[in-house]
């Protein structure tokens, strides 16, 4: 069989040794990465000085923009004291301060915190915790998980096993332990044909039916509350989230809320589960935790769960899990300053007017025939592009329409990335109404140029 020859050509030979994430090799060759030299506020600046409005918070993490004076200062001050110490028999002062700040911010029931490095590791900790929780109780039968179709919980093997996006996960589901999936509350393309304005969250019937027959095998249900991010910023109503919690409670299934992307005020509540006025058994946070400066995540659990891990060395109840950079002092210092800024700025309440303006301007994209659905919650907005607005028929994938719109927007100085046929916006909380106008005007122009010129 003749081997396929892959030709990689870039403007900078240094790129030839880099394997870029979520990027096919041909795109890396055809569209060489922009080398960013510095950042300030909402903007990134390349080596020529061109500015790009970062409309996606550099993968949803920069909640206070780039090079924030106070967060930068906190890291610099900590760097003069201590860069790292193992968190086994030792702990740094910034990690203790962070624990005080975080426990004061989350629901009181979430009283124990396990620190890790990123969203995927926070989910791994949650999955392992749920499995060992039941094992420590002597209930080894509860060893499986259920999650929602279209869910995304990270790219490590355990996290992928509960992810439900075929393009990301199908290959690994075939080769790794399979979990169970039920319908997701995807309102624009409702899996049970209901309207969100009048439904009773019937999309959750499949979870109810699954738990009724196999609930005693489930360790936990993991979900992204209110917004399924990587699936296309699918915003769903609180009644679906409420029903999910109720079903899990009825069958004794632990709930794992993946708040990695939507925690810390993104949805208009400090944590997305607050929309349903419920507290999960386990909650994962990351991304905005350090304001986008350094990798850090946390898995928070209720006290009754932690108590199942208490015992002496011979009890075999210890949670034997950890990460080299668990509780890293530099990341903790960044997180402390970030949480302090959240509190001082009264986030998310102070964002209400900005979010309303953001939503109003986003609705203007309905003027385009290619925009089938406009959805938003808090400081999250998304446009689902379609071939036919009436039938909701999807675009031809080979045309890569959303991809080319995003490339065109970049030429106009706005950084956005598509999720399939979805264009989304997750800007920093510091964005002004003028910057919102600038961002949307550039994307409107990019749509017109891509489709009509």
Supply the DSSP symbol for 273: G
* Domains 34-67+348-452 and 73-344 alike in fold: no
CATH pick for 73-344 out of 3.30.465.10, 3.40.50.620, 3.40.640.10, 3.20.20.80? 3.40.640.10
CATH 3.90.1170.50 at 34-67+348-452, yes or no:
no
pLDDT score for 2: 38
Of 278, 196, 265, 207, the closest CA to residue 237 belongs to 196
Close Cβ partners of 295 (under 8 Å, ≥ 6 residues apart):
117, 118, 325, 331
Give the DSSP letter string of 314-381: GGS-------TTTT-HHHHHHHHHHHHHHHHTTTTGGGHHHHHHHHHHHHGGGGSTTEEEEEEETTEE
Give the DSSP letter string of 55-100: TTHHHHT-TT-BS-HHHHHHHHHHHTT-S---SSS---HHHHHHHH
Whole-angstrom Cα distance, residue 354 to residue 435? 11
pLDDT score for 252: 98
What residues of the chain score a pLDDT lower than 70? 1-11, 177
Sequence ranges of the domains in the chain: 34-67+348-452, 73-344
pLDDT score for 6: 43
pTM summary value: 0.95
Q: How far apart are the first and last CA of the chain?
A: 43
Dihedral pair phi/psi, residue 87, rounded to 5°: -100, 60
pLDDT score for 11: 58
| Structure token digits, residue 179 | 């979990």
pLDDT digits (tens, 9 = 90+) for 389-401: 999 999 999 999 9
pLDDT score for 175: 76
Angstrom distances, CA of residue 373 to CA of 1, 186, 301, 379, 422? 46, 12, 36, 17, 9
Q: ∠ at Cα 232 (228, 238), nearest 5°?
A: 35
């Amino acid at each position: 069989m003749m081997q396929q020859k892959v030709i990689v050509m870039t403007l900078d030979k240094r790129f030839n040794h880099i394997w870029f994430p979520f990027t096919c090799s041909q795109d890396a060759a055809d569209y060489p990465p922009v080398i960013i030299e510095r950042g300030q506020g909402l903007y990134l600046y390349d080596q020529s000085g061109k500015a790009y409005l970062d409309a996606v918070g550099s993968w949803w993490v920069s909640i206070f923009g780039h090079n924030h004076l106070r967060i930068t200062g906190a890291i610099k001050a900590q760097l003069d004291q201590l860069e790292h110490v193992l968190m086994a028999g030792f702990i740094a002062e910034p990690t203790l301060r962070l624990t005080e700040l975080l426990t004061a911010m989350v629901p009181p029931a979430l009283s124990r915190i396990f620190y890790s490095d990123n969203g995927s590791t926070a989910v791994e900790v949650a999955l392992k915790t749920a499995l060992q929780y039941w094992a420590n109780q002597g209930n080894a039968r509860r060893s499986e998980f259920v999650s929602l179709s279209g869910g995304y919980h990270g790219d490590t093997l355990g996290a992928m096993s509960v992810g439900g996006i075929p393009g990301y996960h199908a290959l690994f589901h075939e080769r790794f332990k399979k979990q169970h999936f039920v319908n997701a509350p995807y309102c624009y393309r409702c899996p049970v044909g209901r309207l969100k304005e009048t439904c009773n969250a019937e999309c959750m019937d499949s979870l109810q039916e699954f738990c009724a027959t196999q609930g005693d095998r489930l360790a936990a249900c993991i979900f992204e509350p209110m917004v399924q991010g990587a699936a296309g910023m699918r915003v769903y109503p609180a009644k679906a989230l409420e029903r999910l919690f109720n079903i899990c409670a009825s069958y004794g299934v632990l709930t794992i809320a993946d708040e990695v992307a939507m925690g810390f005020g993104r949805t208009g509540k400090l944590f997305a589960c607050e929309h349903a006025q419920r507290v999960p058994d386990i909650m994962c946070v990351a991304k905005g935790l350090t304001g986008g400066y350094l990798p850090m995540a946390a898995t928070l659990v209720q006290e009754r769960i932690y108590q199942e891990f208490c015992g002496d060395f011979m009890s075999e109840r210890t949670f034997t899990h950890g990460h080299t950079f668990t509780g890293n002092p530099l990341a903790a210092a960044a997180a402390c300053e970030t949480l302090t800024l959240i509190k001082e700025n009264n986030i998310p309440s102070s964002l209400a007017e900005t979010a309303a303006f953001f939503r109003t301007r986003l609705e203007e994209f309905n003027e385009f025939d290619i925009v089938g659905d406009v959805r938003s919650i808090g400081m999250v907005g998304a446009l689902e592009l379609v071939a036919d607005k009436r039938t909701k028929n999807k675009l031809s994938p080979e045309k890569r329409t959303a991809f080319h719109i995003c490339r065109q927007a970049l030429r106009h100085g706005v950084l956005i990335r598509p999720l399939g046929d979805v264009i989304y916006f997750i800007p920093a909380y510091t964005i002004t109404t003028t910057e919102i106008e600038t961002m949307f005007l550039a994307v409107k122009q990019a749509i017109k140029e891509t489709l009509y010129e």
